[in-house]
Structure formats: C-alpha cells, structure tokens
Structure 1
Amino acid sequence: MKKLTRNSRLLLALMLLVCAAALLLAVSSKQLPTGLWPRQISPQAPVNLTAIPLGTINKPIQVTRTGSLESAASVPIHAAFSGHPSEIYVTEGQAIKAGQPLLKLQPSPSAVTQQVAVPSQQLQTNYDNALKEYDRYQKLYEIGAIPRRQMESITAKLQEAKERLAAAGTQSAGSITGPATITAPIDGIVTGLAAAPAKEVQAGQLLLSLGSGQELGAVVQLEQKDLYLVQLGTPVIVEAVQQTIVGQVASIYPQVEAKQNPVFLAHIKLASKPAESLKAGMPATIHINTGETAVVPAVPTASILQDSQGQTYIYLAVNGKAVLQQISVGKTMDDFTEITSGLPAESLIITSSLDSLRDGDTITVIQHQ
C-alpha cells in the first residue's frame, strides 16, 4: 500500500513538471511572433536561405518645425492726395503682380491748387521700411544665405518706394497737376477694395490691400542653414488640430531681434480656406518639402519582423549563423524601409525562411543578391 502511494506521488510530480513547461512555452510564444522564438531543441542541419547586402534609398529631405497659425499679412494701399478714382483696373480677389496698375486717382480741385509742404508720411514710412529691409537682405545675399531672385524682389520693392517718394517730393515743389496711376508694390491678391469710381477719398485713406486673400496663414521659424533648402514657393503641409492643409512659402524675413544666431520667419500661404475651427495663435506643425533628397540605409520591408510590443527586428547572416538584430525604422519607400539605427555597411540581411528561423541557427547562404 505504501509503495502505491509513493508511485502516485512521483506520477503527480511528473505531471506538474509537464504542465509548468507547457505554460512557460505558451507565455514565451505570446511575447514573440513566429520567426523570433528562441531555439529550444538541439541544433539542426544548416538552414539554406538567401541574403542581400544593406541597401540604400533616396529619402526626400523635409524640414519639420513647430510654428503657429497667424492672421495673414497684407500691404495697405493709401491715397497720396485727396481726390476720386477715375478708373479702377482690379477687382476684389484678383491676383496681381508687382508693378501692375491698380487704379487712377484724379486729384480734387483743392489738391490741385494746394501746395504740398511735405511728402506723405505714409510714403516716407514705406520707403524707410523698404530701405531697412533691403540693407538686411543685402548682407544675407552677400554671404549666400538667400537666392538671387529674392534679392531682386527686395530691390524692386525699394525702387518702387523710392519712386513714389520722389513723385511726392516733386509735387511738393509745385501743385498736383493731374491724375496719378497707383501700381502694386508687391505680388498679391486684392482684398478690402474700398475705392469706387467717383467716390471721394482723402489723403492717406485706405484704398485697398494686397495680401493672400485669406484670413489665416502660418508662420514658422527657420535657421540660417534651412535657407539653403527652403525658398519662395516651396511646398508646405500644415497640420493643426488634426487637420491638414497644403500651402507654400510666400515670404521669408529675418527677425531683427535675433543678433547672435540669425533666425528667420517663413510666412506660409494656405492653398485652401481653413476650417472655421482654426484660429490665429493655434500651434501648428509645419512640414516643408524641400525637393532635395539624401541617401540613407534601408532594408527590404518584407525582411522586418515585429513583436507584440511593436519592437522591430531583422536577421543578419554573420559567420554562418542567423543573428537576431533589433532595429529602429524610418520612412518606407516602395519595397524598402529606412533604418535609423546603426548597422555596419557590410551587413547581410536575411530575406527568406524568416518564419522558421531562430536566433543562433546555423545557416548556409545559397543566394547572395
């Protein structure tokens, strides 16, 4: 009777060991997907498989910065003297180019006979601002920080302001003798058109504004090194409050207060009207597509394994063994994915038998692509 009890105890202990081993194997299989389980049995015959060298892809260079939504900038156009528009050449919402005629202003009788003592304060302010802007950009152009076309645009803007100020000075020496054609100082869209034919206006009164035609735009800071990649017209993607809007760089201005490390503000013109939920002052993520590319290491997307925690792995062929290597990944293009963690340039990436392969398996590379 005692002998039977001892055998029963031995049998029970054996059954408990078997159950514990099964439970351990089940837990292990939940943590790693097929192809990542450690080898638990004796070494098998070498596994025949294929492998390829570490590859590369041409990854688009994208400048990503945190910016904000802002009220779209606009340039006001004021009357230089009292009178009325005899002709208006533009309409609300019309896109115009710098130098394009906007309207013809007929002076009033009092403006014709009145001696103008000083030029319009607004014209003087416009010229002073244009001159300061020109001086800043001239220094940037000399060191190659801005493109020539941007410098040409600033030069044209200064010349326009200078000619308007000179015309006002000429009028100050005598009387206004006839109508004056007002032209656009910058490219833009006509907004807030207040002028109407035969409607009297006073000197300094707002006639119209030139802007993007939208209430909202976006602003983002750039560093000096970014100016070699970002230019006027560069495509942009703006993300704010789970909304995505495309746009383009409309202007780039240096921040005057930045003395040690130059900082620039890029103003983004949005290609479509923002949703009403978007307001000025909201933060936004700005993705600027520079059009340039960089060569980065990459592996076939199909060779990447992932565990239940989202960690990514590949198998490397190293001295006749399969070595499981954890990696971090970036952008996927076509059939390849960027590797952002360091891998030796001579690495061989295993591309077959991934479902049955285990870390440490003996392998034979039968195809080295």
Structure 2
Amino acid sequence: MKNMYTTPHSFSFFALLFGLVILSSCREEEVKDEGLPLPVISLKETSAAKNFEYVGSIEGVESVEIRPQVDGILEEIYVDEGEFVKKGQPLFKVNSQPYMEDYKNAVANVNLEKAKLEKAQSDVERLQPLIDNEVISEVRMKSVKADYQVALSSLQQAQAQAANMRINLDFTTIKAPVNGFMGRIPKSIGNVVKQTDAEPLTNLSNVNDIYVYFSMSESDYLYFERAKNDTLSNRVNDEVKLVLADGSIYENSGQIDANSGQIDRTTGSIMLRAKFNNPDTLLRSGNTGKILMEEIYPNAILVPQSATTFIQDKKFVFILDENNLAQRREIITKGRSGDNYIVDSKSLSPDDRIVLSGIDKLASGIKVKPIQRGQLTSSL
C-alpha cells in the first residue's frame, strides 16, 4: 500500500508552501531595509483662517409693528400674510362711520363759528364811524372788539377740533409706513381692535438689508479687539459670513456695524450687530443663523487632523528625519482651519515631513518608505 504522504500531489503542496515562506521572508527583509511604506506630506507656510461661530437672530433693518390709531371694528383686510407691500399702501380698514359723523359735526361747528366771527367783524365795522364821530364811547368799541377776539378764538378752536376729527377719520385706513413683507395677521374681519391691544395687527419688515444680532463672551470680545491692531501676524477678517439654518453659507458677506456698548453682567457677554445686503429677500425677520468670523493667519503651518494622535490631552505627529526614521513630536495648536490644525511654529517648521496616515503602525525609530503626497495648501 502506497504511503499517502509520499504522493506527487503532497510533494507539490509542500514545495509551494516552502516557496511562499521564502517569499514572505524576503518581503519582510525588503520592508525592513526600505522601511514601512506610508503616505507622507511636506509642510509649508500658507494662508489659513480660524473660524469662530456665534448663534444669531435675523431682523429686517426696518421692522415695524402695525397698530391701530383708533378703536373700532375691523372692516377690511386688503393684504395677505407674507405679501410684499409698498409704503403708503392700504393694509386694514376700521369702521369709519362713527369718525365720519364726528368729522361732519366738527365741520358744522367750524361753519357756526365762522358765522359768529363774521357777525363780530360786522359789529366792529358798523360801530367804527360812530366812534370816529364821538357818537358812542370808546368803552363800547372795546367791548365789541373783545367779542370779535372771542369769536376768532372759538373759530380756531373749532378748526383744530375738525382737523383732529379728520385725522381720526384718516386713521381708519391703516397704511404701510415702509416697504416690506407682511407678518402674521392674528385678527380677522369683524374683530374689535383698540389702540391698547397687547398684540399688533401685524409686523412689517423691510428686508432689503438685514441685521443679524449675536452675542459673544467677554474674553472673545477682548481677543478680537486686540487682534484688530495686530499687524505682525494674524488679523481678524473685516467681513463676516452668515451660515444659514440648512448649513449653507449666505452668498453675501456682511459687516459688524454696532455693539451694545456694555457687557451683560448676568451672562458675561456683549451683543453685536452685523449688517448684510439682502437683494433677493431670501432672508426674513425671524430667521436664525450663525455668524462666522475669521481670524486670518497669513503664514500658517497646517497639519491634517488625521495625521495626529492623542496621548492624554496632548497632540502628536510623526516626523521623518533625513534617514526616514519616524520620530514622535508633540505639537501646539492654535485652532482649526477646516480639517486641519493650525500649528504653532515652535512645534513644526516649513518643509518638515510628517506621516499622513497609518500612524497606528508607527513608533519612534521605525523606518518609513515615504509615499510623497505633495504639500499641504491653503484652506482659504
């Protein structure tokens, strides 16, 4: 009986296995000699931006509460919620009948006082010749002239009353004080509206330009104020960006044009305002977003976050020396720019080579075969 271990097939199998072992051994020797193949990048100085985000609320530059100036029943609503209206366009109509009657009564009173004034004027003109001819005494003339002045004052008072009634009548038609978009209209036709109502008839917002109000901590405020005068290294970008609720960045940049002027003692923060052009009226009062402020580093050294490792609270990278030996080095970061860390120049220098990935396989002293990935460029 033939031994199963001496068959030709068995011999071929062992020969193949032996060959693989030899090949693997040679490969290990090759890797050991040339180093572990890993992607490497060369650093250089480049422009970068460190971002700061602050939650903001959006308001139209002109945001007006529309309230009735007279009390009455709401008779007409000429516009709809969200509609764009022009300055002077009628919005609401309050029942004008009571105010029309008051105005008619005031006009009638004006006519009555005019008649009294004409009579007093006639008395003065009639008595003047008698005074000139000493037919009647001057005391009588003074009395008639006094009656004339009373009639004149009464007429002026009646005219003022009529003008006031006319104003009230005009107020029954409520018009837009500015161009803008209509807000919510809580009242409906037939409701009673009053000047003392807690809730306005609507809000009207002119959003051709918008304000974004946001607050920052006292420490951030001091940091940015000092950075404005820093001409030696980094600086704060004069323009700010607006991140919308869907995560997109609004196409128009804005400017910070005002602050509240004082620190809120309860929150330790200060309120600021940024102004943006809104020509397509995409943004409306009540929208929310985030103000994005940038600190510009003109000569930054960037390191990808993926190239770092953490030990406790410290960050490290692996740099390669002239012999391609890996060395772990601690880095000090100033912040983030996109997916990169902005590294202090005391930690790394331009043209240093760092291992981009596979750092979990490394330790100090291990030789690396660099797979060059070029240089890291600006994220701006």
Q: TM-score, normalised by structure 1?
A: 0.43
Q: Compare the two structures and name the one with the higher helix fraction.
A: 2
Q: TM-score, normalised by structure 2?
A: 0.42
Tell which structure's C-alpha radius of gyration is larger.
2
